[in-house]
Amino acid sequence: MSRFYWVRHGPTHARGMVGWSDLPADLTDAPRLARLAAHLPEGALVISSDLTRARATADAITGPRARLADDPDLREIHFGAWELQAFDAIPDQTRLRAFWDAPGDIRPPGGESWHEVSARVGRAVARILAAHPGRDIVAVAHMGVILTQVQAALGLTAYEAFGHRIEPLSVTELHRQGPEWQVRAINHCP
């Protein structure tokens, strides 16, 4: 059995849609980081997105665990022209509403669709599982990345997956036995 502990990076305090912008995480809450690190399995391998906020969070909680190379396929959704924009500042409100209300093939200008990010993250998970079968994996990533895995594990629509909260520094625990995923926790805040 493989167990994935998906950890959302520390807060950025940014407003608007934050995807591929390389913003730092606020990692000043040392007691919370210590509780998070203590909650994770000791022998796990740690991997993260290559964006600073995820990489720094992974470094802060790794401790004695082995650290794998950052994986750019664990990046957040690429919001393209909508990056760092407030929702009400997007000129094409119809397209914006469709992106969130009917996620799938609709993409922001210059960005990626929900199906594209799901496929990208799915490839990364398959690579990690193939390279490290039966291992516990702590994957520090982003809200959208984690939601793609919640969607896959629970067999939800993307819209239903968006209904789940994924707080900064929370843990979403998924176990894989054979071809099936089991959800053990979503948005657990140790």
175 beta partners = 3, 182
How confident is the model over 39-76, as pLDDT tens digits? Answer: 999 999 999 999 999 999 999 999 999 999 999 999 99
How confident is the model over 78-109, as pLDDT tens digits? Answer: 999 999 999 999 999 999 999 999 999 999 99
> Using an 8 Å Cβ cutoff, are 52 and 25 in contact?
yes
How confident is the model over 119-150, as pLDDT tens digits? Answer: 999 999 999 999 999 999 999 999 999 999 99
Which CATH number do you get for residue 58?
A: 3.40.50.1240
Q: What six digits make up the tokens of 45?
A: 């391998």
Instruction: Give the span between the Cα atoms of 126 and 115, in whole angstroms.
Output: 16
Total domains in the fold of the chain: 1
pLDDT of residue 178: 87
pLDDT of residue 118: 97
> Using an 8 Å Cβ cutoff, are 62 and 45 in contact?
no
Q: How far is CA 147 from CA 5, 99, 187, 190, in A?
A: 13, 15, 10, 19
Domain that holds residue 47: 2-188
Instruction: Give the span between the Cα atoms of 17 and 3, in whole angstroms.
Output: 30
